[in-house]
Structure 1
């Protein structure tokens, strides 16, 4: 009988997890400090003429908006965490999670698992390889039968581009990892349950949408 949920020892990467809230809390502190500095500059008369006041007001307003978004995230994440997207890796395979629904992809159905990343096209190129900063890491799962059935929840995760190695299909399931450090935990989980399927880390096609792009 196939399980209906990830195992208790599954390794997760999920938006809204408590450890990801740390980054949002840091954002609250940073934007709060910057907003306070902006208001203090107005109160102390640091902005002398009208142009400086306008520019200062715009910058302070930007900081205040950033603070509002971070505070909203802190308030909402604990209540919406179980509805936010995520993946889990366990002995069954890779689970794809959205809106409290988990869809498993068993290990026998998987041809390869890797982590793709992006580099800006303006990065310097030396010896045929880009030297730009790696960002927007994404877990990618290549299926042995890439054609998904109609109505499958996995369609929301599908992406197509040239594979990192010729043996893999162009179609894959992609999950944009919330924080880059999650990729190490996911790699360790794959190495534990299906080490032969690990493809490694590789550069994927650049898109202006970054981690949100297909």
Structure 2
């Protein structure tokens, strides 16, 4: 755990903080980090098939497109999972979509720096693209897990 914290301290070019929720988003040579209090989730770059930024006039999201299936009920990441058309044929429909609290430029710079081979660019989307997490489905799947 100490190694992870040290790595984060020395290699993060961009950190976005959602102070009201006490969440931190970070990028480094290892991948994408999502930190909430003492909980940490890492999505390694090698697990992804593409990264980019989707946008409308005022909304920007980081898109993390996995190579393989993901756990749609991960305790920290489930709220970012979206079921949408894959980046390209043969990839899973599920992806991570993380809303950006302010300017996309530092995030774009970080993604291009740490994952240039995965970068698919900035893509303009219709206003309705962002979607919502599958809250009802998440509750049902978690209830089944607790029963079984």
Report the Cα offset of residue 116 of structure 1: 0.9
Q: What CA distance in whole angstroms lies between the structure 1 residues aligned with 2:131 and 2:62? A: 13
Which shifted more, 108-117 or 6-15? 6-15
The 8 Å contact of residues 4 and 102 in structure 1, kept in 2 or not, is answered as: no
Q: Do the aligned partners of residues 150 and 171 (structure 1) sit closer, same or farther apart at CA in structure 2, a change above 3 Å counting?
A: closer
Corresponding residue to 1:172 among 57, 78, 95: 95
The gaps in structure 1 that reach 5 residues or longer are 17-79, 119-133
Q: Match for residue 114 of structure 1? A: 52
Structure 1 residue 201, shift from structure 2 partner: 1.0
Give the unaligned 5+ runs of structure 2.
Answer: 134-148
Matched, 1:161 2:84: yes
**1:14 counterpart residue number:** 17
> Counterpart of 1:196 in 2: which secondary structure?
coil
Q: 1:196 aligned to 2:126?
A: no
2:29 pairs with 1:143: no
Query: If each structure's helix is expressed as a fraction of its own residues, which one has the higher value?
Result: 1
Q: Offset of 1:195 from its aligned partner?
A: 0.5
Normalising by structure 1, report the TM-score: 0.51
Greater strand proportion: 2
Aligned to 1:185: 106
Whether 1:103 and 2:41 are equivalent positions in the alignment is: yes
Alpha-carbon shift at residue 213 of structure 1 (Å): 3.3
State the shift of 1:4 in Å: 3.2
Shift of 1:150: 5.2
Structure 1 residues 3, 105: closer, same or farther in 2, change over 3 A? farther
Larger radius of gyration: 1
User: Which residue among 87, 95, 114 is the counterpart of 2:25?
Assistant: 87
Deviations 1:114-138 (CA, angstroms, capped at 9, x unpaired): 11123xxxxxxxxxxxxxxx22100
TM-score w.r.t. structure 2 length? Answer: 0.71
Report the count of equivalent residues. 130
